[in-house]
Structure 1
Amino acid sequence: MDPVYVFTDAERDELFSVLASVAKSPYEDYPAFSAAVRDVVDRDEVPGFFQELCTTVRTERESGESDAHVLRNCPIDEEIPLFDQEDPVADKYRKKTTFVGETFLELFGQLVGTPLLAYETRNNGDFFHDVYAVNRYTGTQTQKTDSELFFHNDRTAHPVRADFLALLGMRCPEGDLIFTGFADGRDLLTNLSDEVQATLRSPLFITPFDRYSRDSNTSQTVSEPHAVLENHHSFRYYDTRTRVAPGAGVDAYEALIALKNAIVKARKRRHMILTRDLFVLANQDGLHSRDMVEINNPERARQRWLLKTYAFRDQAAADRHADKWMDGVVGRVAD
């Protein structure tokens, strides 16, 4: 994908200075951190070019022009540490002492109007996640794997799911070709008959929780029966994992096969996230994947690091889950 915007070095450095002025830690006190970022906005310290860019992204989403955008040459932390891959989250708490990348993602979310989402049982309730290989998840279908990821939306089995994802390239070796694929839900619909769509809109399907989710909460085994197609073109689906619920009829099996065929046929966009790239995409109004096209140095590829956030479509979408907030922290759901 071509970037919708490429920051000049001068723009990047100007925005870096603003981001670096936020002294709060997002891992120690997210509400205070978020408020500090809001203060930067309220003091009108955000450069106009970034405000205009965020307005463009929001407008293109609302008009339906695009649900996937790439920004290039974004500001990130000056020091990008390597983490112990036995427990990289704990190691991040020890080694990462600046939070420019996190502040950039928080500011983007605030200006685009997409409040961040966190899960109480995942990464200690953090609002900022790491797409970073963990040794025990090698070969699994989780964001902590060093393997490919089939077409899916994040947290498919969970009752509260993000509308948008943001992936910020913190360390992305260019010698290993790893692409993030995106299939827009509207393109999937073009290959699904009205009859199949009607079946997919019925709660005839289930999705087992991924291993990382089960490790975070042992009570999570399989979702309740759910529809695969919601709203106009929202999909709740994980390829190879979502399956027909017990007792569902032949129509459900045929509809699931039709969806698999539609994914193969659909127009797809693929982007190789570079260091300093921000790739933001719809989580439910489309499906995404990780395609490992050419890995020349497996150990180097395992050290690839994307900083990631989940976000609601808007404040109204967040407010619908207000009864699930944990410990009064807006956006952190019991899960």
Structure 2
Amino acid sequence: MEPLVVFTDDEARMLHDRLDGVDRNPYRDYPAFRLAVAGLVERGDVPRFFVEACRRVHRERTAGVADIHVLRNCPVDAEIPELGNEDPSARKHELKKTFIGEALLELFAQLTGTPLLAYARNQGDFFSDVVAIDRFAGMLTGYSDSELFFHNDRTAHEVRADYVSLLGMRCPAEDLVYTGFIDGRNLLEHLDDQTRQRLREPNFFTPFDVYSRSKNANLTGSERHPILENHHAFRYLDTRTTVAPGAPLYAKDALLEMKDAVSRATRVRHRIIERDLLVFSNQDGLHSREKIDVVDPDQVRSRWLLKTYAFRDVAARDRHRDKWLDGVPGRVAD
């Protein structure tokens, strides 16, 4: 897909220099880091071109024009450490000494009015990583080297992000790995009124992914939940979301119609390159990972996307106030 905006090299350098003034470590003290980024906004130190890009994303989301956008040639850290595939998060905490990528993602969240969400399973970090981990090789999780069917992140979790942002830190140029996206409104076009109503009933169940279970053995599966919520929000993980025990027989028919809709619906695909910022709706659509052409499997395993989850707005975040950990807004248990 075409980028919403492509920053010039001069613009990227200017934004990099402003972000470089944020002197807090987001992994040690996120509240202080967030306030330091907010200071840039309050002082008017954010370049106008970036403010306008974020406002345009917000306008298009609000007006229903688009729920997926790409900002190209964003600033990232001058030194991108090698994380390896044994314990990349620990390596990141050890080796990453600058936080330009994190500051960019935090600034985008603030300017679009979408506060960040963090899970305890990721050490409470508000900035996580899409990177292959050896022990999950071939498994259905974002921390594997495998493809991912259409889904929304953390389908089984009670608290789920409204938006996901992915910043290309290391993206091997020779290998074609694409992120797919289906807008929830396009899914609705392939579901009749009766099926929509049946998908709104809490007759479905989604097991927790293998990564979540590895962090908390008590996580087995979701509560019974609907697949279709609000106008066009979907809670669905293809091949894993299923009919709950004891559900009416018609729930199975509705699930089959949902699977057919995913196959038929219009989708877009984007190949994230280094310094791309890809942002999309996590609930008002479904996304996937497709490996179209892999020349070097080992090289693909070095792919690293810096990732954030975000709420739709402050009100959406504060509905989960009773779940905040350590008194930090947006940080929740798994």
Task: Give the structure-1-normalised TM-score.
Answer: 0.99
Alignment of 1:233-312 (within 5 A): 233-312=232-311
**Cα deviations by residue, 1:283-333 (Å, 9 ceiling, x for unpaired):** 000000000000000000000000000000011111111111101001101
Match of 1:211 in 2: 210
| 1:20 partner letter | D
Match of 1:77 in 2: 77
**What is the CA distance between 1:261 and its match in structure 2?**
0.4
Match of 2:108 in 1: 108
Match of 1:6 in 2: 6
**What is the CA distance between 1:45 and its match in structure 2?**
0.3
Contact kept, 8 Å, 2:84 with 2:302, in 1: the verdict is: no
**What is the CA distance between 1:174 and its match in structure 2?**
1.6
Distance 1:81 1:71 in 2: 23
SS at match of 2:59: helix
Distance 2:202 2:188 in 1: 18
| 1:4 partner letter | L
**Cα deviations by residue, 1:233-264 (Å, 9 ceiling, x for unpaired):** 00000001100000112211111110110011
Aligned length: 334
SS at match of 1:317: helix
| 2:129 partner letter | D
| 1:225 partner letter | R
Distance 1:48 1:160 in 2: 34
Match of 1:163 in 2: 162
Select between 325-334 and 150-159 the one with higher mean Cα deviation.
Answer: 325-334
Distance 1:131 1:176 in 2: 16
Match of 2:127 in 1: 128
Match of 1:89 in 2: 89
Match of 1:179 in 2: 178
**Cα deviations by residue, 1:216-245 (Å, 9 ceiling, x for unpaired):** 111100100000000000000000110000
Match of 1:326 in 2: 325
Task: Give the structure-2-normalised TM-score.
Answer: 0.99
SS at match of 1:279: strand
Which of structure 1's runs of 4+ aligned residues deviate more than 3 A? none
Match of 1:17 in 2: 17
| 1:94 partner letter | E
Distance 1:263 1:46 in 2: 40
Distance 1:48 1:176 in 2: 35
| 2:105 partner letter | L
1:40 aligns with 2:40: yes
> Which runs of 5 or more structure 1 residues have no equivalent in the other structure?
none
**What is the CA distance between 1:334 and its match in structure 2?**
2.1
Match of 2:140 in 1: 141
SS at match of 2:191: coil
| 2:207 partner letter | P
